[in-house]
Structure 1
Amino acid sequence: MSEFYHIVPWFNSDEWQRVYIGITSDADSSKEEALKLLLVWKARCPSLPSGIESTLSLLQVHVQDSKNSHDVANDQLMRLAYSSAVMRFVNHMLDTETAKGTSLYQAAKTLGVPDWIVDLRHDTAHSNILPPLTLLREACSISLKWLQTNYWDNHKQYIQDYVCGQNNVNIPDAYKIQALINFCISLGICTNSKVKIKNLSEIPNLTMRESIINDAKDLLGEHLDLSNLKTVSIASLINILNTHGKKLLKFKDASEIVNEALLGDDGLFLSRELLYFFSATDFKFKNRLYPGYVQCFELLLTFLHTNDLLLNFILALIKLTYSPETSRFKARLASMWLSEILRALKISHNVAQKTKKMAFDKIPKRKDLIQLYEHWYPGSHIKNVLVLDLLKPVPEELQDLKFIQPILSQYNTHLSFFVANLLDLLVPKLNFFAAKRICLIARLIASPDKFPFPPSSTIYTADDVQGEYIDICEQYGRRVVTVVPKIREPPAKFVNFIWNEASDEHDWSTCPIGKVPWQPNDVGVQANIK
């Protein structure tokens, strides 16, 4: 069987759901049916997960008690049985926290277990008198509800069937992908220059620390030893992820699941809350994202780049920028992220070009390549910008004019944020004047209201805009200098400044971007665009 699947004690997902329904039901008969199936699971797999083991112990006593509720002679036996089940519940479910050196009471507080249940556990283990039966019954009921919320409900949405030999089966990898994304973002936050967390034990937020530990167990469990958090460094987790992460993506439609997890309604990548936590004012008043905010996603984006998922992610971001269903906030944030990612790809391209003819005894480390880049391009300040996989080439599609032409042709009011970076990746490079025209058109589409021109003037192509002037104004209490194109009057052949209907004689497919067929062609520009 594939290493991505686990042998489980239930026969199929329907059997698991029957147990879940029985546990959550108020009817004793349903609970008894669930207990019978749990005992079958115990026979199939003597070492059950802690959540199932604790549920079995508590449910077994509860069902037995409901059958002998009027038998006073069994009172002492039931107290012993309840005490044992509650003790096993506390020991099993709080074990992950107490293993870190915390007390049972602190562990119970962290996980949401009432502290009086811990008191019952102490009385059972150390006192000569067992707790009252009524109190033990209440503890059993609360413990079962806690297990339902913290174990059974968490796993319910991920329980699906896998049939051997079927390649197109819908495998529940969404959970793995979400865990992978959360893991990358959490590690990225830990490596932030302002946080500087070196190992897991230094993470101050208990919830975040527990989340990283759980994700590490799910994704990299067989490659990790988490017995001592002080010895588990963030750098080692990143190295293990980069080494074994590709195995987590060996399934159909991995790219679509990644994009949905990142860009969906619940995704963190375009989250307003996370952005404002790092840089609210920067997003509002600048055309660049705050470096500390970008750094939190550098590990994730590098992972996508290394594993050939970045191209589809870029295309998904571009689609968001012009989709009418995307909010203005998300469209702008997506376009600014595109600018950062495409700029980072240009850095990777420059490194690839420089190192193509260089011979290395061994693969150079990332920090060594960054030092080389700063030597090759003095003043580049590469340490303050997004840097992806420097040994990975840029996706060939983004270097092909035919591939990006539909992106340029799409009416997109946010294209001006990233069009220059997109054109900068083309190989061979686009003619300077043609690139300038495209960027100018994008700026005009993005903010037509900002260009003062007479009511009779109409803009048809980039040739209708001639020259530039400097516009100085006061904005948000600061002096802002803006370069604004000047608008020229349309040529005489346009009657009443309205488009003339084109004839069928024109070959629009050969027309350079930013031109119409009847306008004079710049020979040099046309040769580079074709």
Structure 2
Amino acid sequence: MSDSYHVVPWFNSEEWHGVYDDLADPSSNKEKLLECLLVWKARCPSLPSGIESTLSLLQVYNEDNKNHDYESSDQLLRLAYSSAIMRFVNHMLDTETVKGASLYQAARTLGVPDWVVDLRHDTAHSNTLPPLKLLREGCLISLQWLQLNYWDKLKPYIKDYVCGQEYPVSGDIYKIETLLNFYISLGICIQTKIKMKNLSEIPNAKMRDTIVSNARELLRDQDLSNLKTVSINSLINILNIQGKKLLKVKEPSTLVTEILLGNESLLLSKELLYFFGANDFKYKNKLCSSYVRCFEILLTFLHTNDLLLDLIMGLVKVTQNQESGHFKSKLSALWLSEILAALKISQNIVKKTKKMSLDDKTSKKKNDIKKLYEHWYPGTSIKNRFLLDLQKSAPEELQDISYINPIITTYNNYLTYFINNLLDLLEPNLPRVVYQKICNLAKLISTPEKFPVTASSVIYTVDDLEANDDVMIVENVEEKECGKEEAVNRSSEHPQIINSIWKLAANEFDWMTCPIGKLPSQNKEKEIETN
């Protein structure tokens, strides 16, 4: 029996997604939604906490909307609302309270408003129940929270199990997601402008608590009793070792790419980009350096463990997909530019170090390699650049023209942002003329307005000729009665004009001797010039 599936109360993934859609749509029939949830309850009396809370809140909400005799049912509704909200708070904050946090601390960590917790306390300890108006508002807020923090997060993982196929264990997926987010959180702490040394220096309490929680979950042997003694760099070093063990699952690169490019991903998060400043993104078509550095340790880890290629190809697909939207496509393209440029630096360093002795290679630290690079390539500075693993070259696939050919030849409005950095990785290098033509083509596709077609470049077709046959001008009426050969011969000396665009060709021309793409008259002009 496989451990990669769970027995669930819904019949199939389609049924689950139907409930999800009805819950997310304000105009949907909530009666039908409630009936489906009750069927799940009948199939499985012990439902997951998120579904149980949704069912309790939705039952009261629907009953309230159907009941118009508010005076007689006020007390009953208040009691029902209070009970549903209390169950919601107890169930959904349980993951944090079991770690020793109070309800208010748990609410802050998970994003539940304090006043909703107050409603729970008033219900449990006060002699009077909260006002009905406040309870209704609390019910709606709780349902919205469940939508964002339970249903939305669960959606990517709801799939039908097929016998005979191997699937990653859901616990592994969760741990990998936690690992990636942990890397990003630590990256934010150590990026150049902030530069925190230990966990106690993190000013944001919520972020500090999240990092400590992740560290306890992933690094169980780490002593976190005194945060002043816990170095962020030491956590990163331990995480680099522990992370390799967590990635011992089937197709880890696919899992990592799906998580990093998912809807909840911080890599393509608009909020995080705007937090660090979006002026460079909007007006200079590049990413803010402090924003990029937040992801440096994560992307370096992926590079070291051969997980970066799938992420790069995933970002390329985002730029090619017209449904991604302008923001997401542009952000993906700019990330590609940064990653490919960093890979070029690593590629150059590996080329140079191949000529060094083994002792020299192993003894060099990152700062020493940076100084060597600036010595090898005078005039360049990589001190504050975004860098990856400096002792590992770019993936071999990206150095092969046949591998990147589909990227270049596929229509992509955002190709111009990263085409130069992509071509720079090729081995051997492309001829400069070919390189420039590819870049110009990418620029033409992305900015056609910079290459306007002149007004005189009108394309005429046979339809133009047929539509204007009746305006053919004939200088002499008697020419009509002459033989066709004589008329055509004369037309070569005095060409007849058809709607001022077309000229009749004479039969005396030998079309067999005329090169493709030229008219006989053009050949004659060339002969005259030669003579």
Q: TM-score, normalised by structure 2?
A: 0.59
In structure 2, give the amino acid aligned to 1:343. A
Q: In the alignment, which residue of structure 2 is the partner of 1:427?
A: 427
CA contact (8 A) 1:200 1:234 kept: yes
Residue 288 of structure 1 deviates from its aligned partner by: 2.1
Q: In the alignment, which residue of structure 1 is the partner of 2:344?
A: 346
Distance 1:214 1:156, change over 3 A: farther
Q: In the alignment, which residue of structure 2 is the partner of 1:321?
A: 319
Aligned mate of 1:256, from 254, 257, 282? 254
CA contact (8 A) 2:224 2:230 kept: yes
Distance 1:494 1:288, change over 3 A: farther
Q: Distance in 1 between matches of 2:365 and 2:128?
A: 64
Q: Deviations over 1:112-133 (max 9, x none)?
A: 78589999x9xxxxxxxxx999
SS in structure 1 of the partner of residue 277 of structure 2: helix
In structure 1, give the amino acid aligned to 2:399. Q
Percent identity of equivalent pairs:
48
Q: Distance in 2 between matches of 1:339 and 1:207?
A: 33
Distance 1:133 1:215, change over 3 A: same
Q: Distance in 1 between matches of 2:457 and 2:94?
A: 79
Residue 422 of structure 1 deviates from its aligned partner by: 0.9
Structure 2: gaps spanning 5 or more residues: 10-36, 50-92, 130-141, 459-514, 520-531
How many residue pairs are counted as aligned between the two chains?
Answer: 372
In structure 2, give the amino acid aligned to 1:250. K
Q: In the alignment, which residue of structure 2 is the partner of 1:279?
A: 277
CA contact (8 A) 2:374 2:382 kept: yes
Q: Deviations over 1:372-408 (max 9, x none)?
A: 2223223322122210011112110111111111211
Distance 1:183 1:445, change over 3 A: same
Q: In the alignment, which residue of structure 2 is the partner of 1:204?
A: 203
In structure 2, give the amino acid aligned to 1:191. I
CA contact (8 A) 2:278 2:288 kept: no
Q: In the alignment, which residue of structure 2 is the partner of 1:364?
A: 364
Residue 495 of structure 1 deviates from its aligned partner by: 7.8
Residue 457 of structure 1 deviates from its aligned partner by: 5.4
Q: Deviations over 1:271-305 (max 9, x none)?
A: 22211221211111113211111111111111111
SS in structure 2 of the partner of residue 316 of structure 1: helix
Q: In the alignment, which residue of structure 2 is the partner of 1:233?
A: 231
2:388 is equivalent to residue 388 of structure 1: yes
SS in structure 2 of the partner of residue 337 of structure 1: helix
CA contact (8 A) 2:219 2:242 kept: no
Q: Distance in 1 between matches of 2:95 and 2:439?
A: 62
Q: In the alignment, which residue of structure 1 is the partner of 2:178?
A: 179
SS in structure 2 of the partner of residue 384 of structure 1: coil
In structure 1, give the amino acid aligned to 2:423. L
Q: Deviations over 1:473-508 (max 9, x none)?
A: xxxxxxxxxxxxxxxxxxx96589xxxxxxxxxxxx
Q: Distance in 2 between matches of 1:453 and 1:91?
A: 65
CA contact (8 A) 1:158 1:175 kept: no
Q: Distance in 2 between matches of 1:208 and 1:443?
A: 42
Aligned mate of 2:333, from 332, 335, 345? 335
Q: Distance in 2 between matches of 1:457 and 1:384?
A: 50
Distance 1:202 1:493, change over 3 A: farther
CA contact (8 A) 1:188 1:299 kept: yes
Q: Distance in 2 between matches of 1:158 and 1:434?
A: 43
SS in structure 1 of the partner of residue 219 of structure 2: helix
Structure 1: gaps spanning 5 or more residues: 16-24, 38-50, 52-89, 99-103, 122-130, 136-145, 459-491, 497-530
SS in structure 2 of the partner of residue 222 of structure 1: coil
Q: In the alignment, which residue of structure 1 is the partner of 2:287?
A: 289
The correspondence of residues 413-424 of structure 1 with structure 2, limited to 5 A, is 413-424=413-424
CA contact (8 A) 1:415 1:446 kept: yes
Distance 1:451 1:215, change over 3 A: same
SS in structure 2 of the partner of residue 308 of structure 1: coil
The correspondence of residues 466-477 of structure 1 with structure 2, limited to 5 A, is none
Residue 262 of structure 1 deviates from its aligned partner by: 1.4
The structure whose Rg is larger is 2
Residue 354 of structure 1 deviates from its aligned partner by: 1.2
2:209 is equivalent to residue 214 of structure 1: no
Residue 454 of structure 1 deviates from its aligned partner by: 2.3
Q: Deviations over 1:309-348 (max 9, x none)?
A: 1111111111111212121121111111111111000000
Comparing both structures, which one devotes a greater share of its residues to helix? 2
Distance 1:92 1:277, change over 3 A: closer
Q: In the alignment, which residue of structure 1 is the partner of 2:243?
A: 245
Alpha-carbon RMSD across the aligned residues, in angstroms, is 4.6
Q: Deviations over 1:82-132 (max 9, x none)?
A: xxxxxxxx999658567xxxxx7985775678589999x9xxxxxxxxx99
2:448 is equivalent to residue 448 of structure 1: yes
Residue 212 of structure 1 deviates from its aligned partner by: 1.4
The correspondence of residues 152-191 of structure 1 with structure 2, limited to 5 A, is 168-172=166-170, 173-191=172-190
The correspondence of residues 125-164 of structure 1 with structure 2, limited to 5 A, is none
Q: Distance in 1 between matches of 2:258 and 2:126?
A: 52
